[in-house]
Structure 1
């Protein structure tokens, strides 16, 4: 058997407690990278999100996939904690090859707040959403990038909700809209700053993600997720977190990944470029489905885009 494509590489997945972050860690580890996984929820304490998934569980899933992971409790709004994290990676390995900025944790601030005018929103919650979705990414990049550019070929992955094209429409909540469009601009700026160091910045988005939280929202499990289609027909296009994660792992292993620098790309687009599929063997293109059918009124259904 050949050597794993990311053997010898070191990755940091910031915000790896659950959802796409957890899947990024598993797939990067499966591809051979040593993965540092961070988050605020551990077996000793829960974050404000209040969910039970922990970074230790994520590290165990990486190990079960044949990879190596190090769980480091980190609040990415605390510069001292992020500095200590990157200093630890430096001491342990002297390098960082892949940074995935996946920190979010703001969904609990959105309940009942879509299609509500800015002046009717709860200000503290909105500002907290911006801190969780924007400040965390900037703080993490500030401390991690000096280590990442030490060796050529580094990759920064900014994670958001929606490609640049999709996010031209207003997302229905002033603070959420800002939080999810900011990583797109961050990616462009980082691509400019990283270019002289032979490093790449790409913004990625899943389609309709079947995260743990989304499954709970519909009262289904990964095994019974299709039962939710009766309540929400468009959920038929949904994908697991591993679909995007497989695409990102392939991107990290691509020697020509610089061609993506400064752009935003969806899970479906990565799947087409690298030939990956979701866990069930399908290849959903949620962004195209919403563009054509849901927003564009074209004939067709989710099956046509899987």
Structure 2
């Protein structure tokens, strides 16, 4: 194996080239603006057949471009097949873009199109829902190949900005980036995770009147959840599973990994387990670990999450 080529490939994926795509109305324009402010050269709405040429020009010895972000969408009707082929050609030349896919649920997209009074680019003479359905099907293969999928449903522009900054300000450190996320199963399991754990087998602090109105980020609740043999054993097993999977993710060129932990409501057990698992992972070398508490509702007097919740 040519280890120099492999090293070059990983470096390019982490440090210099981003492909931004996703559903219309999910935040591509806002993402492009943030990346531009962070110092990326942003090329918007390039047809797939021109992407390879743009990459070649941008990374030539005469080019002043050091970091390139390409935004592509369904305004090019041959989008999916052509873009998939472009990604393959880039990989063959040693350029492995970080592919960022922006998504949102149908209800959110419909509300956003309604606010700006625009038609969907694939709507034609049909309904807005028909256009969204057509686009989602067209983008299915690209979404499956994406390194990062950000669901912007319920996310403000300011929240999206923080998320993008968190992901891309530290790209040059060449670490594995792990997001450990808590959630409540009653609100639906997150759609975009690599590993998922279920904490509902642990005793629920909700049934203790003294703990019910506190969160899993507080010491009393955390100790209630974690100070028992089954919880400690579960954390050890979860850490081992994550660390066992990491070499495989690296071989596949995947540098952004999402680990989710769920309980019933996402208030007590899963936040406690997430913070404990994240602490274990932060003790390992070459890992950038962040926590997100999707469904946590802050209680009066409770500590606040360290990251913006989606």
TM-score by length of 2: 0.36
Larger radius of gyration: 2
The higher relative CO (CA closer than 8 Å, separation ≥ 6) is in: 2
Task: Pick the structure with more strand per residue.
Answer: 2
TM-score by length of 1: 0.36
